[in-house]
Structure formats: C-alpha cells, structure tokens
Amino acid sequence: MLGICKGALDVAMKSSLAHANIDSEERQRRAKDFFSQSIEDLRLAEMCMEIEATQMLTYNAALRRDWNGEEENLPKESLALLATLHACKTAQKVTSTCVDLLGKNGFLRDFLVEKFYRDSKTASLISLDRRSGVYRQYKDLSKMIKTRYEQSRLPLE
C-alpha cells in the first residue's frame, strides 16, 4: 500500500511540479502583469506545501510500520491507508494545478505533465478499486473512526 503512496508522491514531486515551475518562470519573463505572477507563485507554493505534508505523512506511516507496533488507537495499516489516500489526492491536485499553469500546453503530449496527470488519475483509481482489499480497508477505517468518535463523545446532561 505504501508503494502506491510512494508512486503518487513521485508523480507529484519529481515531475509535474518541476515542469510547471519551469513554464511558469518562462511566462513571467514574457512580461505578464504583477498580479498574475503572484497568483502563480502562490499556487506553486501551495503545491509544495501539499507535497511536503504528504511526504511527512508517508514517512510517518513507514516509520510506524517499521516499529511493528500500534499507536494509541490507530493501527499501522490504517495510517498507511490514510497516507495512500492523501498521496493519491495530492498527486491529482498537484498535476491538475500544473496542467492549469501550463495552459493549453498542459494537454499536449509534447509536455510530460499530461502523462503525469493521467498517471495520477490511474493511481487514485487503483487505490479505490472495489475488487482490491483496499476498499474493504477504507470501510473498516471509517467504522473504526466512527466507533472512536462515539466513545469519545461526552453525554449531554
């Protein structure tokens, strides 16, 4: 499961962000107005922030898996599942933003971002496939969170 997570991170980090950053810098050199440049910079910074958060969640899941123990109320498989889901969503969000930043070139086969966008969609479909055990684990995770929530609720008096 952490393999899917790592693959989604690779798609988001190494490829899409680098290509969008290069093209964004070229656009800024073409004398766009100040406001659109700052918006592009903000979008690039948000993508970096999402990638870093996902990377930390993935490393935390891998570390807990190596410890071979369970933390408070969250089993290690659940943390890996959360990391995978977050990584797939982050990869989709980052590649989609990169396609937006590239404009019409984002959909051309000449730019690798188009391929990375397709790969991120595929990773998210694999992670949500009903035939795999992952879908069952999502249901188990939601049940566990629901019971934990029910136990932590204070009675109203």
Please list the residues that pair with 4 across neighbouring strands: none
Q: 33: domain range?
A: 2-152
pLDDT at 106: 72
**Residue 93 structure tokens:** 């969000």
Supply φ then ψ for residue 135, to 5 degrees: -60, -40
Q: Does a structural domain hold residue 109?
A: yes
**What's the pLDDT score for residue 34?**
43
Nearest CA to 85 out of 65, 64, 58, 114 is that of 58
CATH no. for residue 143?
1.20.140.10
Whether 92 maps to a domain, the answer reads yes
In a domain, 75, yes or no: yes
Residue 15 resides in a domain: yes
- Helices and strands counted in the chain (H then E): 6, 0
128: in domain = yes
Q: Is residue 157 situated within a structural domain?
A: no
pLDDT at 97: 84
Evaluate whether residue 136 is within a structural domain.
yes
Block means of pLDDT (10 residues each) for the chain, length 157 residues? 65 64 59 59 83 87 71 65 82 84 74 78 68 64 74 60
By CB atoms closer than 10 A (0-12, 13-18, 19+), residue 6 is middle
Unique residue bearing structure tokens 């970096």: 48
Q: Domain total for the chain?
A: 1
Model pTM above 0.85 = no
